[in-house]
Amino acid sequence: MSTQVADIALIGLAVMGQNLILNMNDHGFVVCAYNRTVDKVKSFLENEAKGTKVIGAYSLKEMVDTLKSPRRIMLLVKAGTAVDAFIEQLVPLLSPGDIIIDGGNSEYQDTERRTKDLEQKGILFVGSGVSGGEDGARYGPSLMPGGNPKAWPHIKSIFQSICAKADGEPCCDWVGETGAGHFVKMVHNGIEYGDMQIICEAYHLMRSGLQLTQEEMSVVFDEWNRSELDSFLIEITRDILKYKDNKGYLLERIRDTAGQKGTGKWTAIAALDYGVPVTLIGESVFSRCLSALKNERVEASTVLSGPEPVYKGDKKQFLEHLRKALYAAKIISYAQGFMLLREAAKVHNWNLNYGGIALMWRGGCIIRSAFLGNIKSAYDKNSKLSNLLLDDFFAKAMDTCHPSARTVVSAAVTMGIPTPALSTALAFYDGFRTARLPANLLQAQRDYFGAHTYELLGQEGKFVHTNWTGHGGKVSASTYDA
């Protein structure tokens, strides 16, 4: 085999890896394929990659030897120790200026560590979010690269060729330094959790409250997909609802316990770490946890009482309220996600382009939807926008939709149908628009039992303690924010 013919190597031949290789091949790049189980390389070359320019390697050294300089190696392996193990084996084979790209769902702190460690060895590390599932990988994913910025000029042409396009623009751009790419992908996945949960709650209200058939629900989602809710997840929900096999509708036979791979949980943990109220994603994670308690829920359903879950009013009118409630919750979810991105950017000194991130999510990825264009416009108008809800477009949309959200949440409570994500979206909206919250009482309580101090209105920055009982003493505890 002649040396130095491959533009990039990819390690990991599961479905995502194979599809990305074939995507790169379609765009004229020569890819070297490698897998730890080398039999997979042979099988891939003889089957899926037959007739392509893809070449295979049966050892890491052989793979590295096929690469043009600077060498570009992409890992699509399980996050965690597997990534570190491959990096350890690759480093002795590489030269300064070579590039390692991690395209898995790695934790952003790991990417931060790897970027810094490898920079000291002269290797440029990139942690890139890859979204869109196996179909996206094959025909155009959303790519969110971050890490060592010196790597970007060397991978830009490959990444922007193979990614999805929205209105002709690539759904991929440089995100930022160290862990920025994987942080943005993590928040994307958290928003995905939220989007899926609010759709599930709408389905629950239609099925149990309005008692619609699956065909009727599919028609509703089809209509919604032609409104502001136009999105990949609404579209696939329509298709899932009408899907039948030889036993009839499949959806009703699927066990109602949801799994998770951790990225939604990581988003909720990051929100707590940074003190950002990303409540809708948090509720979405907890809803999956609650769904896992199947046996307890079945038992509880025979013991605990509740109201009759049937809607007595005008169904058509309620469906329009539900559409608006869903739209309002979606706006809140994205507003919270971008709040988290802003706070992380401040802490890590990342220069995130929020409009660019919205554009990256417009095509290829799971949360792709028409309204991401409105988010891009909001940040194009004001790059320093502190919260999406303060943009004219979204403020007006919430003004139109929040009354419907109240109608839906009230009806859900009356019927005893759980809507944790729709409810928390409304609670956040009301909390955010409230100039004076009851946290003054909370601060007084903390000072009463723990001498934690408080600030007086008009005297911000000066922390005082009151001896509330007359025998508590005048010494305060150390001041801290909580």
Task: Provide the annotated binding site for NADP(+).
Answer: 12-17, 35-37, 77-79, 105
Is the distance from CB of 400 to CB of 308 less than 8 angstroms? no
What are the residues whose beta carbons fall under 8 Å from the beta carbon of 203, sequence distance 6 or more?
217, 237, 241
Task: Determine phi and psi for 260, rounding to 5 degrees.
Answer: -155, 150
In 52-205, where does DSSP find H-type helix? Answer: 60-65, 81-90, 108-120, 133-139, 152-162, 180-204
> CB atoms < 10 A from the CB of 310, how many?
11
Strand 169-170 vs strand 124-131: parallel, antiparallel, or unpaired? unpaired
Question: 185 catalytic, yes or no?
Answer: yes
Q: Which residues make up each annotated binding site for substrate?
A: 105, 131-133, 188-189, 193, 261, 288, 446, 452
- Measure the CA angle with vertex 442, ends 440 and 446; round to 5°: 115
Task: Determine phi and psi for 247, rounding to 5 degrees.
Answer: -105, 5
Output the six-digit token pair for 465.
């303690």
Question: 312 catalytic, yes or no?
Answer: no
Distance separating alpha carbons of residues 283 and 77, to the nearest angstrom: 30
Q: Which residues make up each annotated binding site?
A: 12-17, 35-37, 77-79, 105, 131-133, 188-189, 193, 261, 288, 446, 452
Nearest of 127, 154, 123, 159 to residue 143 by alpha carbon: 159
* CB-based burial label for 84 (10 Å; 0-12, 13-18, 19+): middle
Output the six-digit token pair for 464.
């005082």
| Choice among 112, 177, 192, 201 that is catalytic | 192
Nearest of 368, 371, 383 to residue 332 by alpha carbon: 371
* Side-chain-side CA neighbours of residue 365 (13 Å): 30
| Choice among 112, 177, 185, 330 that is catalytic | 185
Distance separating alpha carbons of residues 199 and 205, to the nearest angstrom: 10
What are the residues whose beta carbons fall under 8 Å from the beta carbon of 482, sequence distance 6 or more?
446
Distance separating alpha carbons of residues 15 and 367, to the nearest angstrom: 21
Strand 55-56 vs strand 31-34: parallel, antiparallel, or unpaired? parallel
Is the distance from CB of 446 to CB of 464 less than 8 angstroms? no
Using CA atoms, how far residue 328 sits from 184, 242, 408, 432, in Å, is: 22, 26, 11, 14
Strand 8-11 vs strand 72-75: parallel, antiparallel, or unpaired? parallel
Name the residues annotated as catalytic.
Answer: 185, 192
